[in-house]
Amino acid sequence: MKFLLALLFLIPLLQTETATVYFYRVEEVGRLDSRKVEVKLEGKGLLSMPEENFIGFKVPPGKYGLKMRQKQSELLLTAEAGKTYYIRVSQTASGFGMNQSLTFMQPEQAVYQMRDMKLLEDKNIKNKALEVVREKP
């Protein structure tokens, strides 16, 4: 009986050892095309994201460098256990090129923007080592 009580106490602690990070991409105005854009985590491919898609990942606490192809898209994520983060992925036309950005979003805004989005297909997930969150927040 004591073992069961201890186990019930430990389960919530084990579940909060990671942070949840959602990535999503809205349909963009001013786009030249709707190709997928790649997001890298610590220099390695994490995902390839088309418009109107979302995906979440569980990550251990720590600092992570996120980047798209362009240097100005770099973002530092300091993940804390039990917290949830929302990052909007964007690529729009800018002159003769593309402007890429990763933006931290407030939870209310992100959840609202994600309401009608589709789950990112498995074939677009490049890092298979991380636990995937498939449910919308």
Taking only the tens of pLDDT, the chain with its 137 residues reads: 555 444 455 555 555 699 999 999 998 765 555 678 999 999 999 999 999 999 999 999 999 999 998 777 799 999 999 999 999 999 887 777 778 899 999 999 999 999 999 999 999 999 999 999 999 99
Query: Which domains are delineated in the chain?
Result: 18-133 (2.60.40)
Which residues, including other chains, have CB under 8 Å from residue 61's CB and lie 6 or more apart?
17, 18, 19, 79, 80, 81
Residue 68, both tokens: 């798209």
Q: Are strands 131-133 and 118-119 parallel, antiparallel or unpaired?
A: unpaired
